[in-house]
Every structure is written in structure tokens, then in C-alpha cells.
Amino acid sequence: MTKHKSKGGIEHFPCNVMSCPDVMCFSCANIYRIKKGKKAVCPDCGFVVKRSTYERLLKYASEAVQFGYDYRRCYERDYRKDRKLETRHFLLIPAVVWNFIALAALTGIIGGASYAFVKKVIRKIGEKMPNVAGGCDKKLYNLLNDDKKLENFIQYIEDFHSGFPRLNQKIKGVIIQEILTNKASEISEERKAKKKIDAKRVAAEAIRSVILKVRPQRSDYKDFWNRLAKTRFEEVWTRIVKHQGQTFRTITGKKFRYMIEQNGFYPSRTQYRISKRDFEKAYRMVPIDGPGEIAQIVRGPSYVWAALHDHRICLGEW
């Protein structure tokens, strides 16, 4: 069995998740330089996050890219060639921008944000990073401009978070070995500083650490991208206001019109008011299969669904 440094993975940059001074705001996706202290404060929108929380979530995103996307693609290529997987690869830590977009993907996978919204955040991040916007990182530039490639990336990140449920068992086994090796290396570095290195104990601790690893929860992503969501929804609400008085159809084909008054939506087929807030809550979930999915969340789900999924409102964005 041989091990070598692979050139077939992601294009990498010098800074990694812990050392790079560039920080991404979890509210407006602004990229800024972090200052000393226990908290990171966005200079644009004022969003505050604990440094420990930031590093924990971004480290998980980095592992998702490194093992769930980079190593996986590498070993999938090897498996397609000869199905032996005798060669082991040594891939560098992903560039921090890849970690940023993986974290945005996890916002949808774990946090429940819509796919359309996640794509918007990811592309916003790409615009903020000069090397991506300028096309220097060609693989990432192509990913951000190809819906199929972007969807594939998000699927790989989701599979990592779920424990590779659809992955070939042989490839899965090799990736888990890579994860364990990486963890053992991290533990060895920590022990080296204390001059207490025991190979067997390090290996056992690495296995225990990976098995008992606490994955991020939905609550970890609470209030993420609020600034972007607010701006984005206001655009959608403007479209809804603009098209009042025109004919729309419910999912069952019933025609209706509506009027807007003081942030209230009044359908012609009923006499009750649907609030702007109801539309905003439903918007965070688009695309929605049908009114039934939001029946317990908003008032007038048939009308909310009909308006949000009409071509004049969604403009093909979800």
C-alpha cells in the first residue's frame, strides 16, 4: 500500500480554518479581519459570535470539505479505475473559502434553510472573496456558476454529516481511516507539547473522539443569515405588492386576487388578513411542495403558497 500527495483535489491556499485572519459574518456573509478577543464582531452589521463557537462550526465545515468532498472524490476516482483502493492520498487542509461555503451548505442541511436561500448565501460568499470572484480558484469558480456541481457539493456535505449512508462501503472504510489518522495526528501534536505520547492510547483516543463526536445541532445555526434573509425577503414582498389586483391561482386551480394594506395580504375569496410575517416565515422554507407543509405555520396557507410559487413572484429562483 502506498501513500502520496494528491494533486487531484481542491486548489488550496496558505491559511486554514484556525490561522486565517479572514472571518465570515454569520448574518450578512461579510468577510472581515478578526481582531483579538473572545468575540468576533462584524463591522458591517454588528453581528456578534463567540470565537469558540465560530471556530467549532468552521472546523466541522472544514472536515466536511476535506473528508466528505475532497477525499471522497479522490477515492471514488480510484475505485472507478481498479476497485482496489491500494493508494492512500495526502490532501492539504481546504482553503478557508471552501469552509465558508460548506458552512453555508450546513445551514440548509442542519438549520433548515431552503436550498434556494443556501445557494444565494454561497454565491454571496463567492462575491466577497477576491480570488473566487476573479476566477483564480477555477474549481470553486466553476462550482459557484454551475447549479449541478453546486447541488452535488451540497449533497456530499450532507452525506458527510449523515455518516455516508449512500457511499460504497469500501470507499467509506478508507475515508473513516483517513479521519482517524487525522484525529490521531491532532492528538499527537497536543501530547507532544506535554511530552506524553503513547501510540496505543493516542489511537484509542482518536477512535473514541470520532465515535463520540458531537455534531452541530439546528440550534447552532439560529439567526444565521438574518441580514441576508431580511434583505432578500423585502425584494419578494415588493414583488407581491407590485402584483396586487392581478389574478393568481391556488394549487387546486381556484382563481383569486388580493390587495395589500398596512403589510396585510387580503385575498378576494376570503375576508381575513394574512400578515407579511406569515409570508416571511413561509419564504424561509421555499420551495414548498404544497400548502399542507405550512398549514400549521401560517394563516391562509393556500394563498401564501400560491403567491410565493407564482412565476411573477419567484422569478424562477426557487
Mean pLDDT (the chain, rounded): 81
Q: Can you give the pLDDT at residue 69?
A: 95
- Of all residues in the chain, the percent with pLDDT exceeding 70 is 80
Angstrom distance (rounded) from CA 85 to CA 78:
6
Domain ranges (residues) in the chain: 2-221, 226-314
Label residues 120-159 b or e (16+ Cβ within 10 Å = b): bbbbbbbebbeebeeeebeebbebbeeeeebeebbebbbb
| Statement: residue 178 has pLDDT above 70 | yes
pLDDT tens, 184-240? 777 677 666 555 555 556 555 555 555 445 578 777 777 777 766 666 788 899 999
Query: Alpha-carbon dihedral of residues 105, 110, 113, 118, nearest 10 degrees?
Result: 0
pLDDT tens, 100-152? 999 888 887 777 666 777 887 888 788 777 666 555 678 888 888 888 899 89
Q: Can you give the pLDDT at residue 268?
A: 95
Angstrom distance (rounded) from CA 190 to CA 120:
39
User: Of 172-176, 242-246, 273-277, where does mean pLDDT reach its minimum?
Assistant: 172-176
User: Of 39-48, 52-61, 189-198, 224-233, where does mean pLDDT reach its minimum?
Assistant: 189-198
Alpha helices in 110-256 (DSSP H): 115-128, 130-133, 138-144, 147-162, 169-194, 199-211, 226-242
User: When comparing pLDDT for 312 and 203, which is higher?
Assistant: 312
Residue 216 burial (CB count, 10 A):
19
Distance of CA 249 to the CA centre of its chain: 33
Three-state secondary-structure class, residue 41: strand
